[in-house]
Amino acid sequence: MQPLCDKTHEEALRGGNGISVNQEDLYDAVIIGGGPAGLAAGLYLARARYRTLILEKGDFGGQITITAEVVNYPGVANTDGRQLTETMRQQAQRFGAEFMSAEATGLDVDGDVKTVHTTRGDIKTFGILIATGATPRKLGFAGEEEYAGRGVAYCATCDGEFFSGREVLVVGGGFAAAEESVFLTKYASKVTLLVREPDFTCDAAVAADAKANPGIEIRYNTELLGVSAGKGGLVEARIKDNKTGQESTWTAADGGSFGVFVFAGYVPQTSLVRGVVELDQRDYIVTHGNLETSVPGVYAAGDLREKNLRQVITATADGAVAAVEMERYASEMSEKTGLLPPRPNDSPYEKEEAAAARSASEEGTSPAPAASGKVSEGKASGFFNDAIRQQLAVVFGKMGQPLTLELTLDSTDLSKELEGFIGELVALSSGKLDSRVAERSDASYDPAADMPLARPYVEICRRSATGDPVHSGLGFHGVPSGHEFNSFVLALYNVAGPGQSLDADTQARIEAISAPIDVMLLVSLTCTMCPTTVLSSQRIASDNPKVRAQAYDVARFPELKDQYGVMSVPCIVVNNGGEQIVEFGKKSVPEMLDLIGA
């Protein structure tokens, strides 16, 4: 390549700012954050054939993945948040966007080539998009931290079922509070909504559904001061009338326990760029016309910038606007430096286009336009439809060694369901899986045990040289369907190898674990945050035999819910050398390692 703009070739390869650059490792754009804004930007950039990396420290999809029903996204009549963002991810991947599970730890943004420091090494790029979103805001009322996961919750989809037949308080006056209050009436005997302002702060049409619902009582000008617990959960709340200043006590009508769901907005996740780009007084990123920040080549999209509407559609719009501007910026930097990142010319989309062109050339015709109308969702067959069968075939094809699924059963219908589920999975595996029923004499089920044998149970086993099963300590109590199906399939891949990649530091931390550790994961099949925690724990266990990580469907084993006072999932119970830790919430692999002290 010829040097441009009076730069020497050596200067160009150093990126014009003293940074040594290997052109083959350079990106046009690095997107930090894998929610709707980041995925939309990745789709646009990759579609325009710019080399793009989407970096995500947690679960791709962002906050919308915990939303049970999405009905206001144009062109999609009805879906849930996880399905919607998974489609976005697949679209971006189809056009050639690259993905990395890692945390961004710092940025060097001076000059033409910028550096993103991550837990998996440094990444060189022309442009950076910050799309790290926001997290639920904590209110700070008395008891909020103490009873988080034991009566205080932040996700109606994940935790609503734990309050079936009970009353709940909902705190907030925006979109989330209005929508989730209506959702909670599916479970709660009554919903009391506390709104600090004289009215809702969201769109009137959204608030109207909550106002019209007979299962919801709304108290305006009211805030929650604190909660206290008794036997079985929260039993009393202190509330304040903001107009009169009067404080009072609130209890459930039946005198029993209740739940509190907090939907009080979000806190922008901008600590990464504090001191790097301009922030406003509330720590939102200040952006300009095409979503550029105060630093050339650094852009921001989604809920971390100040705007009057935070919805999926505005996040994806942000991503598209920023992507188009980043295309222009990357092109200018390429011309200025003489550096040209590799183009995504081997993407599935490119291959499909090339195949269609070859076919048309051979037959002397032009490819027909795609048929319009509804896309088939795949024919159901047993437990798995055609689309899932195709995805399973890809995973089985990558598995490095065969596995045995060992079943521990009883006479219940649930055991029969698990046996059928595993039988069909084995039949689809092209010989990569087989199954056997364990003959166990330890028939007792003690919910207080470190890792209770709750039936039915399936454990993932490697095979010895003689073909005998070798227990891995990874398994599921119940039937790993619903949202836990993906985590179970990925557990198979991680045990069989090669497994999902980890950075060198994380791998070293896993290998350094020398004392036995048991991790119980109490989950719900409807929980959208649980799979990340299950997958993270079992990823650790797949690489270190000292760690056992097993998931339990609490809907099937209520004794465990009572044993640990679970009113929120995922609930993580760690037994480490006689010490027990009970924790709640979504955890990445590094966060799980922190929790278990590795």
pLDDT value at residue 16: 54
Query: What's residue 379's pLDDT?
Result: 40
Eight-class DSSP state of 15: T
* Candidate list 159, 318, 518, 553, residue with the active-site label: 159
Predicted pLDDT at 378: 37
Choice among 28, 80, 112, 158 that is catalytic: 158
In angstroms, the CA 250 to CA 235 distance is: 9
| Dihedral sign, Cα of residue 327, residue 328, residue 331, residue 333 | negative
Structure tokens that stand for 283 in this block:
């720590």
What is the predicted pLDDT for the residue at 471? 95
For every residue of 376-431, which 3-state class applies, written as one string? CCCCEECCEEHHHHHHHHHHHHHCCCCEEEEEECCCCHHHHHHHHHHHHHHHCCCC
Is residue 4 classed exposed, middle or buried when 0-12, 13-18 and 19+ CB atoms within 10 A define those classes?
A: middle
> Is there a catalytic annotation at residue 159?
yes
d(CA 99, CA 461): 30
Taken in order of first residue, the domains within the chain and their CATH numbers are 9-135+269-337 (3.50.50.60), 152-264 (3.50.50.60), 383-596 (3.40.30.80)
- Rounded Cα distance between 41 and 95, Å, is 12
Contact between residue 190 and residue 215 where contact means Cβ atoms under 8 Å apart:
yes
In this structure, what token pair is assigned to residue 588?
Answer: 């990445």
Question: Amino acid letter at 582?
Answer: V
Q: What is the DSSP letter of 277?
A: B
Distance in angstroms (rounded) separating the CA atoms of residues 538 and 486: 12
Amino acid, single-letter form, for residue 320: A
Secondary structure of residue 39 in the 3-state scheme: helix
Query: 548 and 541 in contact (C-beta within 8 Å)?
Result: yes
Q: Among candidates 238, 251, 66, which has minimal Cα distance to 168?
A: 251
DSSP annotation of 3 reads: -
Distance CA 237, CA 231 (A): 15
Q: What's the rounded Cα separation, in Å, for the pair 498 and 406?
A: 21
Peptide bond into 531 cis (omega under 30): no
Question: What pLDDT is recorded for position 67?
Answer: 62
> What per-residue confidence (pLDDT) applies to 15?
55
What pLDDT does 19 receive?
Answer: 59
CB 276 within 8 A of CB 109: yes
Q: Answer yes or no: 209 catalytic.
A: no
Q: How far apart (Å, rounded) are the C-alpha atoms in residues 84 and 311?
A: 13
Would you mind telling me the total number of residues written for the chain in this entry?
598
Cα–Cα dist 297/126, whole Å: 7
**Residue that is written with structure tokens 């060198």 in the block:** 504
342: Cα separation from own chain's centroid: 29
Phi and psi dihedrals of 425, rounded to 5? Answer: -60, -45
CA-wise closest residue to 324 among 3, 525, 42, 568: 42
Q: List the chain pLDDT tens, one digit each, 598 residues.
A: 333 334 444 444 555 555 577 888 999 999 999 999 999 999 999 999 999 999 988 777 776 666 656 777 788 877 877 788 888 999 999 999 999 888 899 999 999 999 999 988 899 999 999 999 988 888 999 999 888 888 998 888 778 888 999 999 999 999 889 999 999 999 999 999 999 999 999 889 889 999 999 999 999 999 999 999 887 789 999 999 999 999 999 999 999 999 999 998 888 999 999 999 999 998 999 999 899 999 999 999 998 998 767 778 889 999 999 999 999 999 999 999 889 998 887 778 777 766 766 666 566 554 444 333 333 333 434 788 887 888 899 899 999 999 999 999 999 999 999 999 999 999 999 999 999 998 766 667 899 888 999 999 999 999 998 989 999 999 999 999 988 998 999 999 999 999 988 888 899 999 999 999 999 999 998 887 889 899 999 999 999 999 999 999 999 999 998 899 888 899 999 999 889 999 998 888 999 999 998 8
Return d(Cα 396, Cα 447) in angstroms, integer: 34
Establish whether 527 is a catalytic residue. no
Distance CA 133, CA 354 (A): 37
Answer yes or no: are the C-beta atoms of 268 and 303 closer than 8 Å.
yes
Is residue 304 within 8 A of residue 25, CB to CB? The reply is no
Kindly report the number of other CB atoms within 10 A of residue 546's CB atom.
16
DSSP per-residue string spanning 473-499:
EEEEES---TTHHHHHHHHHHHHHSS-
Phi, psi of 113 (to 5 degrees): -105, 125
Structure tokens at 68: 């049970």
Give the active site residue among 155, 202, 527, 571.
155
